[in-house]
Structure 1
């Protein structure tokens, strides 16, 4: 099962169970709570009416009733009063108290019911019997035994005069009169629970979508980092909290793994590159141990010197590239004039240019200040000029240009040599990849363009090589 379905299923299960139990508790507590409130009101009403009935009950002759008494007239007047009250949206159009009074023996002497129970013996009813014993008396009786809605709650109060118990007054109220309030409360709570459950489901869907989307972004990042090189590798997704920390940890792990892989690759490539000059030096040294004519000894000595220079260039380039790769930003940022810097580099390579018979032609010289590391930029330009000296056509031109295009500063150098084979063009800039010089058949260290690429990465720029027929043009693009 997918992660999203598991999260959503778990959230729905928890929300559903919580909503079920909460609604069940609320709905189960409504009716008892209403009954408790109603019983409290009946207690107050019964005691108030007991005081009103005390005078008439005190003068009641044995075997008599309260018919025609002041208390009886007041209760009957209450029962006949018209009422039209709107209670929180519900209409009340009748007065529902039933009042009956018993004497000290439990005989009914007054009853306000439509069918009075006057003269009946209520001494065994719970409300009357407990009150006659000096206890709190109350009962709930169903008029239809199987229907709880026909239940009537009765609460009794003692009628006393001078500390003597004269009788009991009971007030009754049908539960059906408050049932509409109970039904409305249950309906409101039910729909509130439905809305709450719906809102919980919506939040669950949103949280699940966010979690799954974030995990998928992490998965996409983890799958994509292995298919890109360091320069074009995607950035880790920007996520909050622990997921963001996990993304950063994955990025650090990627960098460590790529560093190890790159180190292993560089060691293998460097070992391969060192074999050829070391083999040549070893062979020349062995031959120099023999008796050789002076011209041969000089030739082998020059070969050793040439291979030592090659080794020195290889080691120096590898060290420079290593230092550049250890930086995240330029070491010394300052204002740099690329035109002036190019002229300094050309002056350093004047001997090589003269030896190759190359002439430098400026196509454009826009003096735009660039914020960067002058030393690193000089190293990159020097490598490009050196490549042009090795691969340019003897006696040809080197076309140099510094110009601004939009929000970019472009430095370009073109030689008029044979260019680069189409298959090799995408591999330019890879460590230890080099093409053969058409002039002397020698290969460079294969690190010059890698150094150029690293310098451009430090300056948030990019470089591009393209065949021009004839020649090769290398362009450096710096953002302004």
Structure 2
């Protein structure tokens, strides 16, 4: 099962169970809570009426009733009052209190109910019996024993005068009168629970989709890590994720760098060993020959061979050190405005001897003084390697010149150099810029180290730009685009 379905299923299960039990508790508590509130009101009402009935009950003759008394008249007037009240959307049109009074023996002397029980003995009823004993008396009685909705709640209060118990006043109220309020509260709670469940579902779905999307981004990055690229620009970037997923992405990125560093090191050691083998063999051979008695011309020739191979090794080491330094950087060391035209002219002056030896002239196609922001030292290193590469491969071309251009293209500045040499085979174009990959130098027939264009690619990637090479027929054009 996919992680998204597991997360969503687990979220719905937990939320559903929690909502079910919470709703069940709320619905189960509505009716008892309403009854408790109603009982509290009945207690106040019964005690108030007890005080009102005290004078009439004190004057009651043995065996008499309260019919025609002031208390009875007041209760009857209450029962006949018209009422039309709107309580939070529900209409109340009847007054529902039932009031009855018993004497000290429990005999009913007044009853406002539809079927008066005057004269009956209520001394065994819980409300009357407990009150006559000096306790709190209350009861709930069903008019239909099998129907809880017909329950009537009765609360009694003692009628006393000078510490003497005169009787009991009981106030009753049918639970059916508050049933609409209970039903409405239950409906509101139920639909609130439904909305809560729906909202929880949307939140759970959103969280699940976000989590799955984050995990998928992490998975795509992990798959990309399995295919590391040597070029900094092509290296996969860790996804920006919050929390533990982001920390995991950063940890995977560090692991990728370590793995790529190890693979690159193994590859570079093999390639470097191959590059060092040829000049070391040449140096060894020349040194062995110099140990013998040789004519001056041969000794000079072998000495020059050793110097040339040593220079080749020195150049190789210098470029490796420069490339290694660049690869440890994640961004340019400085962000200064740089005029590529001025920088190129400075480099041409430095390489004037090489241009002269190669018999090359420089032809400017465009000179836009559009500045770029970057590190002047590293950009000079990259452009210098590009110029040297063009000089080496353009020395045998016709015309014997380098075409240079610096021009603005949209939000980028394009620097390009073209030689008119033999170019490179089409199959080799995609591999240019890889470490230790180089084509044969047409001047001396030797292969270069391939580190020059690797340095170009590294510097351009650090500056957020791009570079490319194309056969110009004749020659090769190298283009660098910087923001």
Q: How high is the TM-score relative to the length of structure 1?
A: 0.93
Task: Report the Cα offset of residue 334 of structure 1.
Answer: 4.3
Aligned with residue 268 of structure 1, among 263, 267, 270: 270
Question: What are the equivalent positions in structure 2 for 1:438-457 lying under 5 Å apart?
Answer: 438-457=442-461
Question: What are the equivalent positions in structure 2 for 1:249-268 lying under 5 Å apart?
Answer: 249-268=251-270
Matched, 1:233 2:235: yes
> What corresponds to 2:416 in structure 1?
412
Task: Report the Cα offset of residue 78 of structure 1.
Answer: 2.4
Question: Equivalents in 1 of 2:62, 2:284: separation in Å?
Answer: 145
Task: Give SS of 1:168's match.
Answer: strand
Matched, 1:300 2:306: no
Aligned with residue 380 of structure 2, among 363, 368, 378: 378
Question: Equivalents in 1 of 2:149, 2:234: separation in Å?
Answer: 77
Question: What are the equivalent positions in structure 2 for 1:308-387 lying under 5 Å apart?
Answer: 308-331=310-333, 333-387=335-389
Name whichever of 89-98 and 412-421 sits farther off: 89-98
> What corresponds to 2:108 in structure 1?
108
Task: Give SS of 2:445's match.
Answer: coil
The alignment covers a number of residue pairs equal to 479
Are the structure 2 counterparts of residues 251 and 45 from structure 1 closer, same or farther at C-alpha, using a change threshold of 3 Å? Answer: same
Contact 1:313 1:445 in 2 (8 A): no
> What corresponds to 2:76 in structure 1?
76
Are the structure 2 counterparts of residues 439 and 99 from structure 1 closer, same or farther at C-alpha, using a change threshold of 3 Å? Answer: same
Question: Equivalents in 1 of 2:148, 2:423: separation in Å?
Answer: 102
Are the structure 2 counterparts of residues 298 and 15 from structure 1 closer, same or farther at C-alpha, using a change threshold of 3 Å? Answer: same
Question: Equivalents in 2 of 1:164, 1:189: separation in Å?
Answer: 49
Question: Equivalents in 2 of 1:119, 1:333: separation in Å?
Answer: 107
Task: Report the Cα offset of residue 441 of structure 1.
Answer: 0.9
**Structure 2, gaps ≥5 residues long:** none
> What corresponds to 1:217 in structure 2?
217
> What corresponds to 1:43 in structure 2?
43
Task: Report the Cα offset of residue 428 of structure 1.
Answer: 0.7
Contact 1:393 1:418 in 2 (8 A): no
Question: Equivalents in 1 of 2:376, 2:459: separation in Å?
Answer: 11
Task: Report the Cα offset of residue 293 of structure 1.
Answer: 5.1
Map Cα deviations across residues 144-176 of structure 1 (whole Å, 9 max, x no partner). Answer: 111111111111112222222122121111111
Question: What are the equivalent positions in structure 2 for 1:84-233 lying under 5 Å apart?
Answer: 84-227=84-227, 229=229, 230-233=232-235
Alignment root-mean-square deviation, CA: 2.2
Are the structure 2 counterparts of residues 32 and 265 from structure 1 closer, same or farther at C-alpha, using a change threshold of 3 Å? Answer: same
Task: Give SS of 1:424's match.
Answer: helix
Are the structure 2 counterparts of residues 453 and 140 from structure 1 closer, same or farther at C-alpha, using a change threshold of 3 Å? Answer: same
Name whichever of 119-128 and 419-428 sits farther off: 119-128
> What corresponds to 1:458 in structure 2?
462
Are the structure 2 counterparts of residues 83 and 422 from structure 1 closer, same or farther at C-alpha, using a change threshold of 3 Å? Answer: same
Map Cα deviations across residues 299-350 of structure 1 (whole Å, 9 max, x no partner). Answer: 4333323222221211121112222223334445544443343333333333
Question: Equivalents in 1 of 2:153, 2:335: separation in Å?
Answer: 92
Map Cα deviations across residues 167-196 of structure 1 (whole Å, 9 max, x no partner). Answer: 212111111111111111111111111112
Are the structure 2 counterparts of residues 173 and 279 from structure 1 closer, same or farther at C-alpha, using a change threshold of 3 Å? Answer: same
Name whichever of 313-322 and 379-388 sits farther off: 379-388
Map Cα deviations across residues 80-122 of structure 1 (whole Å, 9 max, x no partner). Answer: 3322222222222222222222221111222222222222111
Name whichever of 406-415 and 306-315 sits farther off: 406-415
> What corresponds to 1:477 in structure 2?
481
Question: Equivalents in 2 of 1:116, 1:86: separation in Å?
Answer: 30
Are the structure 2 counterparts of residues 23 and 463 from structure 1 closer, same or farther at C-alpha, using a change threshold of 3 Å? Answer: same
Are the structure 2 counterparts of residues 47 and 426 from structure 1 closer, same or farther at C-alpha, using a change threshold of 3 Å? Answer: same
Question: Equivalents in 1 of 2:182, 2:411: separation in Å?
Answer: 75
Map Cα deviations across residues 228-257 of structure 1 (whole Å, 9 max, x no partner). Answer: 523222332222333333323332332233
Map Cα deviations across residues 368-399 of structure 1 (whole Å, 9 max, x no partner). Answer: 44444333333223322322232224372222
Question: Equivalents in 1 of 2:412, 2:235: separation in Å?
Answer: 23
Task: Give SS of 2:443's match.
Answer: coil
Q: How high is the TM-score relative to the length of structure 2?
A: 0.93
